[in-house]
Amino acid sequence: MSVRIKVHNLSFRYGAMEVLRGIDFMVQPGDFVGIIGPNGSGKSTLLKNMAALLTPSAGEIILNGKDLRRWPRRSLARQLALVGQERSAGFNFLVEDVVAMGRYPYQERFSSPKEADRRAVERAMHLTGCYHLRERELFSLSGGERQRVILARALAQETPCLLLDEPTSFLDLGYQVELLELLQSLNREEGLTIIVVMHDLNLASRYCGRLLMLSQGKIYACGMPEEVLTRDHIRSVYRTEVMIDPHPLDGSPQIIPFAAGAALRQNHGCPKVHIIGGGGSATPLINELVLAGVPLSAGVLTVGDSDWATARRFGLEMVEETPFAPISSARHQDNLALIKGAAAVVLAPLFIGPGNLLNLEAAATALEEKKPVYLINEPPVEERDFTGGRGIELYRALIEKGAQLITRAELGQIARPEEREGN
């Protein structure tokens, strides 16, 4: 069994309120699709349309070549199983009886369960870790236990496609991972097609092969997790600033939120600052200025360097140089181009060697272009120079030409130019 689902130009209204608009995407057999987006973006409404619980106002959903509205309910229940947000039941059934309800598409009216039904129910309870609860009453269970029972009922349907609406809610961390590992295993080993609404972006990134990001009822982005979960997308859709780091085990993008107001500050004329660093010297400066909402660029940074990793984590525009190579003339020119587009330059307390003297010359060029240049000299340059004195000479020349020595504590004033002007 396999399913192909085509959602074409789908729109949906609750009365006069349009909730979904112009939704277009495809689900192929064996896909693991995560639907993400902020509250009110239409995630659950889209899933309910795909489960035929709601009828589109416009457009269509095609399941295996046939409009979803033309499928008989029993036939559709052999293709799609739904785990919704509702965890309760109208009656206080035994757990085993609740799971057995998943077999209704295969049973005639008033018929007794067959051996295949019993096997499917038992397997579903074992898979979801609720077999030991089989003789308990549903109302006696915790929210997390009920969640697993409802999932077991859906798995007992033995459909080629599973729709889930926030299945990890009510589950503690261990069971969240256990559930998603189970879904991933069923997807990879048995070809089960999975479409899941998720709030947790990090779990969605780790377990979903493809993500659909909704915003205000429309598709904002669709693709692989690394294509969808970008700082720009998250800033626009969730209105918050984040760092993005690769997961240490599988490399999937992991989201670290911070300073929800930082994105808003960037839209109020805060001047762009260019940071010159290397060797970890710029990392604390980048962290502080990003948290203050200051738009940044950086360079020249060596690929793999800790400052490079920090700039990459924040998605900064930067100039990169090959590891173990001196700054080339081409990269130096690229650095000058970024400086030209900045309102100010900060020279971090980097270690100075023959290979990065051009970074100091770039700061000198900024001064020639009448841009403010700030130097952080902690530790002092005499302890950081490994050029036989040439670096010290260039550094002192920057001060003579007007570069301002500031402390780390004074760095925040760069984000608040009105304070400097007031002083």
Give the pLDDT score at 248.
Answer: 87
C-alpha span between 73 and 20 (Å, rounded): 24
pLDDT (0 to 100) of residue 169: 82
d(CA 336, CA 205) in angstroms, rounded, equals 37
Q: What is the pLDDT of residues 186-209, one digit of tens each?
A: 999 999 999 999 999 999 999 999
pLDDT at 87: 62
Lowest mean pLDDT among 4-8, 241-245, 410-414, 415-419: 415-419
Residue 399 has pLDDT above 90, yes or no: yes
Distance separating alpha carbons of residues 218 and 121, to the nearest angstrom: 38
CA dist., res. 403 & res. 345, Å (int): 10
DSSP 291-354: HTT--EEEEEEETT-HHHHHHHHTT-EEEEE-TTSPPPHHHHHHHHHHHHT-SEEEE----B-G
In 3-state terms the chain splits into helix, strand, coil percentages (rounded to 5) of: 40, 25, 35
| Domains of the chain by start residue, with CATH | 5-238 (3.40.50.300), 262-422 (3.40.50.850)
- Model pLDDT, residue 416: 56
pLDDT at 288: 86
pLDDT of residue 259: 56
Q: What residues contact residue 29 under an 8 Å CB cut-off, 6+ apart?
A: 2, 3, 4, 160, 191, 193
What pLDDT does 263 receive?
47
User: What average pLDDT does range 105-113 have in this prediction?
Assistant: 79
pLDDT tens-digit map of 359-369: 999 999 999 99
Question: Quick one: average pLDDT of 22-30?
Answer: 96
Q: Are 37 and 216 in contact (CB under 8 A)?
A: no
289-339 per-position pLDDT tens digit: 887 878 899 999 999 999 999 998 888 999 999 999 999 999 999 999 999
Got the DSSP string for 153-171?
HHHHT--SEEEEESTTTT-
User: Is it the case that residue 419 has pLDDT exceeding 50?
Assistant: no
Lowest mean pLDDT among 94-108, 149-163, 242-256, 402-416: 402-416
pLDDT greater than 60 at residue 260:
no
Task: Give which of 279, 290, 297, 397 is closest to 346, Cα–Cα.
Answer: 297
Q: Is 172 exposed, middle or buried (0-12, 13-18, 19+ CB in 10 A)?
A: exposed
DSSP 11-54: EEEETTEEEEEEEEEEE-TT-EEEEE-STTSSHHHHHHHHTTSS
Tens-place pLDDT, residues 32-91: 999 999 999 999 999 999 999 999 999 999 999 999 999 999 999 999 999 988 766 667
Q: What is the pLDDT of residue 174?
A: 86
Distance CA 359, CA 368 (A): 15
What pLDDT, on a 0 to 100 scale, did the predictor assign at position 423?
45
Crossing angle of helices 115-128 and 143-156, in 10° steps, is 140
Task: Look at residue 186 in the predicted model and tell me its pLDDT.
Answer: 92
The Cα–Cα gap between 211 and 231 comes to 15
CB 411 within 8 A of CB 348: no
Give the per-residue pLDDT at 109. Answer: 74
Q: Say if residue 372 is preceded by a cis peptide, omega within 30 of 0.
A: no
Q: Residues 168-187: what's their mean pLDDT?
A: 89
- Residue 159 identity (one-letter amino acid): T
Dist. CA 381–CA 390, nearest whole Å = 11
- Average pLDDT of the residues in 143-169: 91
- 223 confidence band (pLDDT: 50, 70, 90): very high
Contact call for residues 323 and 393 (beta carbons, < 8 A): no
Average pLDDT, the chain: 90
